[in-house]
Amino acid sequence: MLFFNLHTHSSTKQNDVLELVNQCPHEFEASFDAYSIGIHPWYIQENRVDSDLKLIEEKLTTPTCLAIGECGLDKKIQIPLQLQETVFEKQLLLAERFQKPVIIHCVAAFQEIIAIKKKLKISVPMVVHGFSKNQQTAKQLLENDFYLSFGKNLIQNSKLESVFKEIPLNRIFLETDMMDVSIESVYELASKFKNIPILAMQQAIAENVERVFKIANK
């Protein structure tokens, strides 16, 4: 593994890239080498939550399921926040039970995410995917033991460069999400912003992968 893509919605099937493909329970596809599975707040349907959670629990026992997610909170959608919190908490408890990391979707709800982590005493790693906020928010998340994953916004938002430069390498992941770009190009830009060789970025993220996902770099 030369590159690790924390969050993508499709697979490029490259031998030198380990891709964590995002899966929703109601659209599960068994063919991926590595995936995360979770109930995204956008797709919560009350009459399907129990069956979705049951499928997630089943998949967490398989070796190709590396994480729960993406799941989390989004204050800019119509689904009631209380319902979102209930579904999110149930997934966090599964993550804790099966000792799997969590890929977080968060929109305008970072304080709630932090509070829930504390309330439930979640010990497994939690990674905020697609991070795009300011240094203050990043600092709060880091102080509460979150990891931060960067992708689209690192490329499209020049203001994020200064934030990214301050994030310790041992707390960083990179991703493509739904972008039509390669993970290699994200690594190149991230290495440029950190002013380090791409090999050093690869090594740092490989160490993070081993720590968070219990996968040795091969």
As annotated, the binding site includes 70, 105, 129, 177
As annotated, the binding site for a divalent metal cation includes 70, 105, 129, 177
Q: Give me the domain span that covers residue 143.
A: 3-213
H or E element that contains 185: helix 183-194
In the DSSP assignment, the letter for residue 164 is H
Residue 62 lies in a domain: yes
Residue 156 lies in a domain: yes
Residue 137: CATH number of its domain: 3.20.20.140
Please tell me the total count of domains within the chain.
1
Instruction: Please give the share of the chain, as a percent, with pLDDT higher than 90.
Output: 90
Residue 216 identity = A
**3-state SS record for 85-122:** HHHHHHHHHHHHHHCCCEEEEEECCHHHHHHHHHHHCC
Tens digit of each residue's pLDDT (9 = 90 or more) over 30-77 = 889 899 999 999 999 999 999 999 999 999 999 999 999 999 999 999
Residue 218 lies in a domain: no
